[in-house]
Every structure is written in structure tokens, then in C-alpha cells.
């Protein structure tokens, strides 16, 4: 069998460059005196901007016609263990990499006034975070992926724990331990698969493509447990109901940039990882678990929206809306049809953009009034008309108004879901009503009405810096809403391949909820050690 490791037509290790470029910036910052805050800020901004500019090469040079990995770099790393340094992206990950590089300069720019102490460390942490995120999206070696996956937690932990709100420690530790708790199960599964691979081929390797090629006949009873291990790690990250409670806390306590990154990128890592690892590794188990995941997702959609409706804190409201939206992403993904998966990827991007923008908006208000309670605001559009327009765009994008990006994702997701099971769609679509409910209500409670609190009369409208980082979001809202074709086109080949692969693997197996499979899976409990050989 010839393995498709992919190739790099660019002749330049661009993924490594994009991944480690922020690290170089962070190292340079180490040597900058801490009192030169202005320099630190602008340096980080331009560094992140250059990062984004460079990453655009990926967009232009990406070959839309193939599902194979591109811009691949593959060198041995730890020879004894068979660990490789193997990076590459395909249609599934490219948009998320670009989303990350797009969000970075915004996050730097929105922190200028929010972060007032230990700026140097803050920008270093921010840049270090980018390394972990981009690396995790690009890594195709399981070991490498795991390293990036865990590395990412540390700067995020610091960002919440040091520059966060009043309950920052609780939130940071909860975030860290909860995510970490899940990752351990993934680690166990990775190790198990590592041995399984060795047992089969006699070679030690963490190579994703090799695993996919040779570990394609894992018996259902092992798949069952391996899938669950990965599921736990990623479901916490997504977060899928009922593993979501770390999210509102982390969001509320994190500084604006932290919330933006959390919502826009970190959550996407969970959904991306589902698409990258458990689904192609364990198609049978994935189909077996699909109904459960669908039910959890539907609960997440409705429950998240209901919780959002009850919030008094704007950030918490947006956080719960994330739970609701990510539920739809998960639901569409586990329908295993091209439309659903394309919808779910585009919805990941959309959610990153619209929720990111909403967190920035809350941040803008917070910087002015130092409160996020909805009742502290009313009639703001009178004093901040420009802000009201931007907020309106973000809100409409979030509730899926046709013509803006949210609709494209929501519609394709729901279409994919409907195609697989109309009953799921029936429930999932109620999210659109509730979504409009909590978002409009938030908007009107803060922006409409008369100004009741004296202080609010003196709120200044958006500053130039704020315009600079909000306008790109609006451009993306409209672009994806009106002309999403390039975004669909870039992922099409990879998604089609994935769906074909999964269907090919599962076509011979009748995957349904029958009790014999369940028993077979559970029998593993009694002869547990089998998995290693």
C-alpha cells in the first residue's frame, strides 16, 4: 500500500514558520525591558500582523483539487520512539489555521487598555498560545499533536489566572484541570494505539497517516473504548453538554483577548480534533455513538440557549450561546454527510468570528464601565451609535440572519442534519428561535431604551483602535454571508474524501444500537489487557 503523506509544493517549510514565528516574537520580547510597554504592544501587534500576512500564503497557494495533506514537513524527531515532526494541513484544517492567525492581531490590539499590569508577560503568553494552537491544527504526528495540545493549556492558564477577573484562580484551575482530565484519557488511547500499531507492523510510529492506513481494522470492542477516550478529551474541549460548565467560568473571568481566543480557537480545537482523529480512526464506533452525541448536541443547543436567556452577565450569556452553537457544529458533524460536515466546518469559522466579535464588544463596554451586568446598561446606542452598528452586525451574524455568515453555517448544518434525520433537525432548528430571543433581548436591554444610569451619558463611542479591529469582522460577516463559495471550495475535496472514507469503512458493517455489539464492547472490561497486543 502506498501511503499518502502529502507533499509540499511550496519548497518552504511554511507551516513551521507560521507555527514558530510567534515563539520567536515571544523570545524577542523576553529581552525587552518591561517598562517599554508601548514598544511591547506595537511589536506584538505587528508581529501578529506579519504572522497573519504570511499565513495568507496558505490561502493562495492551497491546492483546492486534492484532499491530501499540503505544505507537508516530515522529519524524524525522536527516532527511538518513532516520533516524527510531521506537519501538514488539508481542507479541514486550513480555515482554522487562518482563523487563528486572523484572531491573533485582533487579540493583541484589544488588550492595549485592558491589560495594565505585567504587560510583557501577557504578550509573551499570548504569542506562546498561538504556537500551541497553530501547531495543534497542523500536527499530523500524534505525539506532536499531544504536545501542542497540552502546551496550549499553559499560556491560557496564565492568561486567565493572572489577568483575569475576581474569581480568576477558580476559573483558571477549573479550566486547566477539567481539560487536562480529559486529555489524560486521550493520552491513554494514543498509547494504546501506539502499541496496537507496533503489534501490527512491528514498527514504532505516531504517524497519523500510517495509523490511518494500518489501524483500519480495529475490532469494534476496542474501538468502543478508544473512541470514548478521545471523546472525553474533545467533548470537554468543545464543550459538549454536560461537560460545559468550565466554559462560562473561564469566559467570565478571562480578559477580553482570552475570551476571544477561547471562543474562536480553543473550542474549535475540540471539534476539529473530532473530525481529524476519532471519526476517521474509528468510523464504526463513531457511527455507533452518533445517536448519543446527537442527543447530547441537541440538549446543548436548546439547553445552552435557555441558559443564555437567563443570564444577567453579558459574557456569561455569550458563553452559553457558544455552548448552543457548538452543539449544532457537533450535531452536523456526526451526521456523516458532506453537507453536514462542510456546514459544521464553516459554522466553526462563523462561530469563531461572530462569538469572537461579541466578546470584543462586551470588552469594549467593560473597558468603559467596568461591569458586564446587563442591567447596568440601557440606551447605549444614543451615546455610542457607531458601537451600536457593530454590535448589531455581530448579533445578527450570531442569530444567523441570511446575508451574513451565520446563516450560511446554520443552514448548511441544519440541511445536513435534516438529510440524515429530520427529527434531529426539528429539535435543532428551535435553536434559531431561542437564539434570536436571547440575542435580541440582550441587544435591546443594553442598546435601546433611555439611559437610566448617569455614568452612561459620558461613554465615548468607538475609538480608532477599536474600529480597526472590529471592521475586519464585519467584512468577514458579509463576505462569508454573500459569497461563501471560496470557503466551501477550499474544504470540499477533503470533506468528500473523509465522508467517502468513513462510508467505505462502515458500509460493510451494520452499525446500529444492537445489544450484541454493546455486550461485545463491554466484554472488554473483563479481559482488559488484550488491548496492548
Q: Contact region for other proteins (CB under 8 A) — 30-38, 48-56, 168-176, 260-268? A: 168-176
Q: Cβ distance 135 to 151 under 8 Å?
A: yes
Does the footprint of other proteins cover residue 146 (CB under 8 A)?
A: yes
- The interface with other proteins within residues 66-85 (CB under 8 A) comprises 80-81
Terminus-to-terminus CA distance in the chain, angstroms? Answer: 23
Could you tell me the smallest distance in angstroms from the CB atom of residue 484 to other proteins? 6
SS3 letters for 324-359?
HHHHHHHHHHCCCCHHHHHHHHHHHHHHHHHHHHHH
Could you tell me the smallest distance in angstroms from the CB atom of residue 10 to other proteins? 27
Q: Which is nearer to other proteins, 285 or 345 (CB)?
A: 345
Q: Which residue(s) pair with 86 in the sheet?
A: 74
Q: Cβ distance 173 to 181 under 8 Å?
A: no
Does the footprint of other proteins cover residue 520 (CB under 8 A)?
A: no
Interface pattern 228-257 for other proteins (x via CB under 8 A):
--------------x-xxx-----------
Could you tell me the smallest distance in angstroms from the CB atom of residue 480 to other proteins? 11
Does the footprint of other proteins cover residue 423 (CB under 8 A)?
A: no
Rounded to whole angstroms, the Cα distance separating 259 from 315 reads 9
- The interface with other proteins within residues 96-135 (CB under 8 A) comprises none
Q: Which of 426, 471, 475, 518 binds other proteins (CB under 8 A)?
A: 426
Nearest 10 degrees: CA dihedral of 362, 359, 435, 306?
Answer: -80
Q: Cβ distance 6 to 88 under 8 Å?
A: yes
Rounded to whole angstroms, the Cα distance separating 226 from 207 reads 17
- The interface with other proteins within residues 448-477 (CB under 8 A) comprises 448-450
Does the footprint of other proteins cover residue 430 (CB under 8 A)?
A: yes
Q: Which three cell numbers stand for residue 329?
A: 457544529
**How many residues does this entry show for the chain?**
533
Q: Rg of the chain over CA atoms, in angstroms?
A: 23
Q: Which of 307, 329, 332, 362 binds other proteins (CB under 8 A)?
A: 307
Q: Which of 432, 446, 456, 494 binds other proteins (CB under 8 A)?
A: 432
How many residues touch other proteins under the rule CB under 8 A: the total is 87
Could you tell me the smallest distance in angstroms from the CB atom of residue 489 to other proteins? 8
Q: Tell me: cis bond preceding 242? Omega within 30 of 0 counts.
A: yes
Q: Which is nearer to other proteins, 101 or 339 (CB)?
A: 339
Does the footprint of other proteins cover residue 444 (CB under 8 A)?
A: yes
SS3 letters for 418-461?
HHHCHHHHHHHCHHHHHHHHHHHHHHHHHHCCCCCCHHHHHCCC
Does the footprint of other proteins cover residue 173 (CB under 8 A)?
A: yes
Could you tell me the smallest distance in angstroms from the CB atom of residue 174 to other proteins? 7
Interface pattern 191-210 for other proteins (x via CB under 8 A):
x--xx--------x------
Does the footprint of other proteins cover residue 28 (CB under 8 A)?
A: no
E-strand stretches of 103-227: none
Q: Which of 11, 117, 166, 422 binds other proteins (CB under 8 A)?
A: 422
Does the footprint of other proteins cover residue 281 (CB under 8 A)?
A: no
DSSP-based helix, strand, coil % in the chain, nearest 5: 75, 5, 20
Q: What is the DSSP letter of 527?
A: T
Q: Contact region for other proteins (CB under 8 A) — 10-18, 157-165, 212-220, 468-476? A: 157-165
Q: Which is nearer to other proteins, 36 or 489 (CB)?
A: 489
Does the footprint of other proteins cover residue 447 (CB under 8 A)?
A: yes
Q: Which of 390, 484, 505, 511 binds other proteins (CB under 8 A)?
A: 484
E-strand stretches of 64-189: 70-78, 83-89
Does the footprint of other proteins cover residue 478 (CB under 8 A)?
A: no
Q: Which is nearer to other proteins, 155 or 283 (CB)?
A: 155
Give me the sign of the Cα torsion angle 138, 140, 142, 144.
negative
Amino acid at each position: 500500500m502506498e501511503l499518502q503523506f502529502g507533499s509540499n509544493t511550496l519548497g518552504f517549510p511554511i507551516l513551521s514558520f507560521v507555527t514558530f514565528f510567534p515563539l520567536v516574537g515571544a523570545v524577542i520580547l523576553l529581552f525587552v525591558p518591561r517598562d517599554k510597554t508601548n514598544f511591547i504592544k506595537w511589536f506584538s501587534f505587528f508581529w501578529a500582523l506579519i504572522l497573519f500576512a504570511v499565513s495568507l500564503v496558505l490561502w493562495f497557494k492551497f491546492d483546492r483539487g486534492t484532499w491530501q495533506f499540503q505544505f507537508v514537513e516530515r522529519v524524524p524527531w525522536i527516532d527511538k520512539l518513532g516520533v516524527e515532526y510531521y506537519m501538514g494541513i488539508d481542507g479541514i484544517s486550513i480555515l482554522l489555521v487562518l482563523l487563528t492567525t486572523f484572531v491573533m492581531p485582533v487579540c493583541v490590539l484589544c488588550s492595549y487598555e485592558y491589560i495594565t499590569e505585567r504587560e510583557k508577560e501577557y504578550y509573551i503568553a499570548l504569542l506562546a498560545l498561538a504556537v500551541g494552537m497553530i501547531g495543534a491544527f497542523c500536527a499530523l504526528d500524534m505525539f506532536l499533536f499531544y504536545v501542542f495540545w497540552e502546551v496550549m493549556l499553559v499560556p491560557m492558564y496564565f492568561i486567565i489566572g493572572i489577568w483575569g477577573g475576581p474569581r480568576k484562580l477558580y476559573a483558571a484551575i477549573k479550566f486547566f484541570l477539567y481539560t487536562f482530565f480529559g486529555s489524560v484519557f486521550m493520552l491513554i488511547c494514543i498509547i494504546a494505539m501506539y502499541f496496537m500499531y507496533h503489534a501490527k507492523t512491528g514498527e514504532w510510529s505516531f504517524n497519523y497517516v500510517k495509523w490511518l492506513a494500518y489501524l483500519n481494522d480495529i475490532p469494534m470492542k476496542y474501538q468502543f473504548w478508544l473512541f470514548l477516550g478521545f471523546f472525553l478529551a474533545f467533548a470537554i474541549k468543545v464543550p459538549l453538554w454536560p461537560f460545559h460548565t468550565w466554559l462560562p467560568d473561564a469566559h467570565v473571568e478571562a480578559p477580553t483577548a482570552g475570551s476571544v481566543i477561547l471562543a474562536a480557537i480553543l473550542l474549535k480545537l475540540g471539534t476539529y480534533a473530532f473530525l481529524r482523529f476519532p471519526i476517521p480512526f474509528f468510523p464504526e464506533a463513531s457511527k455507533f455513538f452518533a445517536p448519543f452525541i446527537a442527543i447530547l448536541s441537541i440538549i446543548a443547543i436548546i439547553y445552552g440557549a435557555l441558559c443564555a436567556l437567563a443570564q444577567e452577565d453579558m459574557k456569561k450569556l455569550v458563553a452559553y450561546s457558544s455552548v448552543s452553537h457548538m452543539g449544532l457544529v457537533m450535531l452536523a458533524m456526526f451526521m456523516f454527510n458532506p453537507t453536514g460536515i462542510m456546514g459544521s466546518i464553516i459554522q466553526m469559522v462563523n462561530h469563531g468570528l461572530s462569538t469572537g466579535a461579541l466578546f470584543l464588544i462586551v470588552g469594549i463596554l467593560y473597558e468603559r464601565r467596568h461591569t458586564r451586568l446587563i442591567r447596568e446598561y440601557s440606551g447605549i446606542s444614543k451615546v455610542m451609535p457607531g458601537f451600536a452598528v457593530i454590535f448589531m452586525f455581530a448579533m445578527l451574524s450570531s442569530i444567523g440572519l441570511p446575508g451574513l455568515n451565520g446563516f450560511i453555517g446554520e443552514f448548511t448544518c441544519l440541511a445536513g442534519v435534516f438529510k440524515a434525520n429530520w427529527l434531529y433537525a426539528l429539535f435543532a432548528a428551535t435553536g434559531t428561535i431561542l437564539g434570536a430571543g436571547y440575542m435580541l433581548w440582550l441587544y435591546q436591554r443594553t442598546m435601546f431604551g433611555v439611559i437610566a444610569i448617569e455614568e452612561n451619558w459620558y461613554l465615548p463611542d468607538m475609538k480608532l483602535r477599536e474600529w480597526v479591529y472590529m471592521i475586519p469582522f464585519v467584512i468577514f460577516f458579509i463576505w462569508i454571508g454573500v459569497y461563501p463559495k471560496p470557503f466551501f471550495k477550499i474544504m470540499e475535496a477533503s470533506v468528500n474524501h473523509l465522508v467517502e472514507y468513513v462510508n467505505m469503512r462502515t458500509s460493510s458493517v451494520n452499525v446500529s444500537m444492537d445489544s450484541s455489539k454493546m455486550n461485545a464492547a463491554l466484554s472488554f472490561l473483563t479481559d482488559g489487557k488484550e488491548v496492548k497486543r
